[in-house]
Amino acid sequence: PPDQSPPDPSKKTLVILGTGWGSVSLLKKLDTENYNVIVVSPRNYFLFTPLLPSCTTGLIEHRSIMEPIRNILRHKKAGVTFYEAEATKIDYEKRVVYISDDSEIKGDISHTEVPFDMLVIGVGAENATFGIPGVRENSCFLKEVGDAQNIRKRIMDCIETACFKDQTEEEVKRLLHMVVVGGGPTGVEFAGELQDFFNDDLKKWIPEIKDNFQITLVEALPNVLPMFSKQLIDYTESTFKEEAITIRAKTMVKEVTDKHIRAEVTNPDGSKAIETIPYGLLVWATGNAVRSVVRDLMNQLPAQAESRRGLLVNEYLVVNGTENVWAVGDCAIANYAPTAQVAGQEGAFLGRLFNTMAKSEALEKELENLSDAQSAAKGDEARNQILDEIRERQKQLRRNKQIGPFQYSHQGSLAYIGKERAVADISWLSGNIASGGTMTYLFWRSAYLSMCFSTRNRVLVCVDWVKARLFGRDVSRE
């Protein structure tokens, strides 16, 4: 089908913001023939985030976990329009989204507006910094492809700079100190991947760094991975100890400069002290914050006044205080953790809901036509025949309208912790299985491989794993 087909005036215009887990799962399920579908996202690809930490060390090449949105859309039954742009403002009263092309190359028009009848917001979240001074200027985040590339480049830059002629010992130590702030799954997985990189490749290729390379994970709470069971937290902490990754728990970062972090440490006796920790690379992984376009919409809606962390939605994912606006994934607050699992299920639910809504509308239209035909029909037999058809359609309509609210089904939590070990809290029947170790790691690998978007992604990821095993990771700094 043509990509930019003109809108059909008999259909509603459905605008979908974002090409992440929520929006793409919706697109996969959606029968695009029912609506004029427009997708707006600054990213013209879907990103398989669970394997993003592996891109920071070059274990996996970033293109292996990207799927072009154009490839997804071209397989849909009816044409879908895609604009590579950022939604800068949603005007709910006017039912319009303002969009802006923020890419390097701009045409004569780079700002415009897109009217909608129905809107799905799946723009994800921003990196939380809690307004801590110096974080944005000095640290790397780990959310997008560009972040992973940036980290990969900086790891090698720190190492090569540490190896510079006559570098002082103190400076070598600082440059080779890799600090990760945030002991959630992002921070833990990154620390594990980085230590693997050091053990598998860096130590062999650049032996002169081996005594000074050090990874520290800084966490404000008493332990890492708070969403996992106690047994797996202990397992992760003991694995990190074996790997020589230092965990600094009860340590809250308060300020960041270009070479140091300043943190408030809670001592075992409860007293507090400020500590200055030098770093070469700083990766900031302290969770999610609300995007400005979402915050602006929240300010337009009195029903959102109480919300701080994102758009409050009802059990059908309708944004509270609106009609015909839905939110999915990290930007929606529906009492679930902000994970790909939740976003994916929410998107798929909306896909089914919209298909059902379109079917109901078609049935209602048919019923209207049938009742007109019934009034115009001559003779009892013809009228009764139409009446039978009306009853049948009414039955179908009732059945169709019975779609229940969104229900999340938790499949479990999985995280890689390095040293070919993973931790998993898996929901099994009505219970829970907690497991950690090498078998869990093999399960982690196969689970993520099967979840990859396409066969192409699966093959590329496998090839990357084999390549790294055969030749080691590539340590050249691009």
Q: Whole-number minimum distance, CB 339 to ligand FAD, in Å?
A: 3
Q: Decide if residue 143 touches ligand FAD (CB under 6 A).
A: yes
Residue 191 contact partner, candidates ligand FAD, ligand NAD, none, CB within 5 to 8 A by sort of partner: none
Q: Whole-number minimum distance, CB 334 to ligand FAD, in Å?
A: 11
Q: Decide if residue 397 touches ligand FAD (CB under 6 A).
A: no
Residue indicated by tokens 């994912």: 317
Binding part of the chain for ligand FAD, among 156-164, 196-204, 329-337, 462-470 by CB under 6 A, reads 329-337
Binding part of the chain for ligand NAD, among 62-70, 292-300, 319-327, 411-419 by CB under 6 A, reads 411-419
Residue indicated by tokens 């609300």: 290
- Considering beta carbons, is residue 124 or 436 the nearer one to ligand FAD? 124
**Site residues for ligand NAD, window 203-242 (CB under 6 A)?**
218-221, 226-227
Binding string to ligand NAD for residues 18 to 57, with x set by CB under 6 A, is what? --------------------------------x-------
Single residue of 67, 86, 425, 464 touching ligand FAD by CB under 6 A: 86
Q: Decide if residue 415 touches ligand NAD (CB under 6 A).
A: yes
- Considering beta carbons, is residue 38 or 202 the nearer one to ligand FAD? 38
Binding part of the chain for ligand FAD, among 13-21, 128-136, 154-162, 234-242 by CB under 6 A, reads 13-21
- Considering beta carbons, is residue 168 or 450 the nearer one to ligand FAD? 450
**Site residues for ligand FAD, window 20-49 (CB under 6 A)?**
20-23, 40-43, 49
Where b means 16+ CB within 10 Å and e means fewer, 174-187 reads bbbbbbbbbbbbbb
Q: Decide if residue 287 touches ligand NAD (CB under 6 A).
A: yes
Q: Which residue is nearest to ligand NAD (CB)?
A: 184
d(CA 8, CA 193): 49
Positions touching ligand FAD (CB under 6 A) are 17-23, 40-43, 49-50, 52-53, 86-87, 122-124, 142-143, 186, 291, 293, 329-331, 338-341, 343
